[in-house]
Structure 1
C-alpha cells in the first residue's frame, strides 16, 4: 500500500490538475489526467502481476506516472513513459523526483508511434492514455510489445469517449490472441490480456 504522504501529495496534484483543466476551453490545453481510482487500480495490477517492465503512452503531467512508478518501486520494476510535449514531461519528471520515484521512470519525449515502431522491448503492462485517433494505428506494434501469456494492456476513457475508441476496441475484440473486458472505473478502462 502506498504511504500516506505519497497518497496525499498525489491527491493534491490531481486537484491542482483538475483546477487547471476547468479553466481551459481548448481540450488540447487540458492535462486530462487519469482518475484517481483508475490510477490506484493500475498500481494494484502492477503489484499483483509483479510487473517489471511497464510502458505508459501519454505522460501528461504525470499523475498516472507517479502511481505506476510507486508500484514499480515495490516490484523493482521500471516505467517507460512517452509524451510528445517536452514541458509536460518535464513537469512529470519534477513531481517524480519530489516524491522519490524518479529512479523508476524513464521519460521519453517524442511521437509515441516512433517509439512503438522502433521498440524491441516486451512489456508486462502497458497503459494507453493518449490521443485516441491514433490507437488503431498503434495496434500492430502494441501486439508485438505486450508480453505473451498474461501481458496486460489498459486503455483509458473507453466509457467517457466510447464512440472515439469503438473502432479500436473492435479490432482487439476480433483478435483471438487476446481476452478483453471493460471495467467501470474512472472514465472507463478496457483491459486486454494476452493468452
Structure 2
C-alpha cells in the first residue's frame, strides 16, 4: 500500500514535510502552522484504517491534507473515500490543492466547517482520526463515539506531547466499558480506541 503513492503525491508530501519543519522554527504563529503528523504516524494510520471493519473513514482536522493522503491510501485500498473535516478556510484551500496535485481527489471528500455542526449526520463510522484543536477532542469524541461500529477505531493524535490538553477525552474513553484504549508511542503519541 505504501508503495502506491504517485510521484506527484510524494512530491507534495515532501513539500508539506519541509513547510511543517520550517513552521516549527521560523516564528509562524501556532494557528497558521500545518502541525501535521510524522510519516511514520501516517503509515500507522493507513494500516489501521485499511484494516478497520466495514464503514465510513473520517478525519477531524484536515490542515493542509498530509494525514488525509495517508488515509486516502487506505480508502483506495478499501474502494471508498475518506471524509475529512476542516474549519479553517485557508487550510481547506491548501488541502484542496494538496489533493489535486497528489491526484487523490477521487478518494477524498473535504467537508469545510465546524465538525460539531456538520458531523452529527454521520453513522456507521469504522475509523476516525481526531487531530483538531485539543479543546475539541472531548466534544468530538462524545459526538463520534455512538456512531462507531463494533470493532471500529478512533485514533486521537498528540496523546503524549499534549496529554494535558486531551486528558478529558482520554479519561472519558478509558472509563467507558465500550472502548478498549491504549497510547501508542509513535510520532506525538496516538491514543487508539477500539469499540467493543
| TM-score, reference length from structure 2 | 0.91
Determine if contact 1:156/1:188 at 8 Å carries over to the other structure.
Answer: yes
In the alignment, does 2:111 pair up with 1:101? no
The answer to whether the 8 A contact 2:53-2:152 is kept is: no
Question: Contact 2:53 / 2:151 at 8 angstroms: preserved in 1?
Answer: no
Q: Who is 1:184 aligned against?
A: 185
Unaligned segments of structure 2, at least 5 residues: none
1:73 is displaced (CA, Å) by 1.0
After superposition, the C-alpha distances for 1:37-62 in whole angstroms (9 at most, x for unaligned) are 11110111122236652110000001
Q: Aligned residue pairs: how many?
A: 193
* Equivalent runs, 1:90-129 vs 2, <5 Å: 90-116=93-119, 118-129=120-131
Report if aligned partners of 1:178, 1:193 keep a CA contact under 8 Å in 2.
Answer: yes
Structure 1 gaps of 5+ residues are none
Task: Spell out the pairing of 1:136-151 with structure 2 (5 A cutoff).
Answer: 136-147=138-149, 149-151=150-152
Q: Structure 1 CA distance, aligned partners of 2:10 and 2:97?
A: 17
Q: 1:120 to 1:112 in 2, by over 3 A?
A: closer
Distance 2:54 2:29 in 1: 36
**Alignment correspondent of 1:18:** 21
Q: Which moved more, 1:153-162 or 1:119-128?
A: 119-128
The CA RMSD over aligned residues, in Å, is 1.7
TM superposition score normalised by structure 1: 0.91
- Label 1:94 to 1:8 Cα distance change in 2 as closer, same or farther (>3 A): closer
Q: 1:35-184, aligned counterparts within 5 Å?
A: 35-49=38-52, 53-116=56-119, 118-147=120-149, 149-184=150-185
Aligned equivalents of 1:84 and 1:121: distance in 2?
20
